[in-house]
Amino acid sequence: MSRPDERLILVLDEGTSSTRAVLYTAEGEQCGTCAQPLDQHYPGPGLVEHDAAEIWTKTLACAREMVTKAGGPERIAAIGITNQRETVVAWDKQSGEPLARAIVWQDRRTADSCEALRQAGHEPIVQRETGLLLDPYFSATKMAWLLEHAPAVRGAGDRLAFGTVDSWLTWKLSGKHISDVTNASRTLLLPLEGKDWSDDLLSLFGVPRQALPRIVGNAGPLAVTHADLFGAPIPISGMIGDQQSATVGQGCFAFGQTKLTLGTGAFVLTNVGTLAPTSPGKLLGTILCEVAGTRHYALEGAIFVAGSLIQWLRDNLGLLRSADETEALARSVDDNGGVTLLPALAGLGAPYWKPHATASISGLSFSSTRAHVARAALEAVSHQLVDLAAAFAGAGAEWHKLRIDGGMAVNDWLAQDLADMTRVEVTRPADIETTARGAALLAAVGAGIHPDLNTAAAAMIGEGVRFTPRDLGSERASRLAAWRTALDAF
């Protein structure tokens, strides 16, 4: 527990399915947490939306509970913010209220416009500039869609503000319209080596510069909260997108160090140093973090559906009573019984980039049980990781160890299967919530509690558990053959 005179770090961790507030000491001890679920809206096939007002009110409620738990605002040395990336919020700068529902990163409504831009020959230029591909995953086409289809957004004129969730929360907390470089690097509007939005990219996507936030680094005196929110102003000194935050929270500060976050989706980031990646292939080049003016980069592989597949099996199909049940079910059968699951509920991300792909379950027979389907769902994560490992090796960033975190990482069966299928050692930290921890490290550095990230990591990151690869024999090859057959349908 924290000492009565110790000042704490408050992290606001706004994810896809929930928003949380977490308290940390300067030594990395978690001493309080509050979470509230978020409603996800699915108005049609491929459409995923959030209510930005709900995001704000629930985040504020969680933050206030933790400020009270800490003993008041004077006990909070700094706030760190981490958030679901690519999700777009449009709001009115005068009223501070949303102009439309937020379009979530999983949303696929702009697949056709991305294809039109690709057919017009724009993707090579976009990838060279931003490290990203033309896919509805990213923010710019979402902004363009809102401008075209949402009358309130189109009619807002100079009052229009666009931002990812970091911008939205910081605006509501402080009145500042800013975005950190990691979130900005996911919009298709910021060159990898740039300091500001690209005029050429803004023109390509039809996004007005005046609606966008100012771009800042990940640690430092970024903003200060309105005094009336918590009883006194609190400095915001760390901001970062969730996947980059988890990479920081895993201590991946050296070239080649790799983390895998198993949450709603599954995201692999490998640190590639201070030079922007030039040949990512079917992977993404992205900004990992920028502290004290030094920018580090990463290669990223994004799997759109991981934990959300388990949620779908539970909530939509009724095959599970709880997500935790999957480990026992996977262990209850000797193999998948010939069942293969292609988890393309929101298309397929890296390294396939098939936005129109749909999910399938193949190989079913009278002997198939829900245990086989649950096991096949977990195996689908490993199968995608095998293909991602090959893509990373092809881009000069071969994995030698995989550091896992996120909600699904507690599943020992899955952790071991990942090691077996990728043939690399998998490690899991004692605290799997590394997304919040990464934001805590950055806030601590930004507030001067620790002088740099390495010092912060030494103080705030603990040891973990290792899973060593085993030889699966012919089972590995047969599983991958069935997986590739399912993929070939698209």
Question: Digits of tens for pLDDT over the chain (490 positions)?
Answer: 445 557 899 999 999 889 999 999 999 899 999 999 999 999 998 899 999 999 999 999 999 999 999 999 999 999 999 999 999 999 999 999 999 999 999 899 999 999 999 999 999 999 999 999 998 989 999 999 999 999 999 999 999 999 999 999 999 999 999 999 999 999 999 999 999 999 999 999 999 999 999 999 999 999 999 999 999 999 999 999 999 999 999 999 989 899 999 988 898 999 999 999 887 788 999 999 999 999 999 999 989 899 999 999 999 999 999 988 999 999 999 999 999 999 999 889 889 988 889 999 999 999 999 999 999 999 999 999 999 999 999 988 999 999 999 889 999 999 999 999 999 999 999 888 889 999 999 999 999 999 999 899 888 887 789 999 999 999 999 999 999 999 998 7
Distance, CA of 91 to CA of 156 (rounded, Å) = 9
Neighbours of 458 (CB within 10 A): 11
Distance, CA of 254 to CA of 432 (rounded, Å) = 20
For 318, phi then psi, to 5°, come to 70, 25
The pTM of the full predicted model, rounded to 2 decimals, is 0.86
Cα 264 versus chain centre, distance: 8
Q: Which domains does the chain have, with CATH numbers?
A: 8-242 (3.30.420.40)
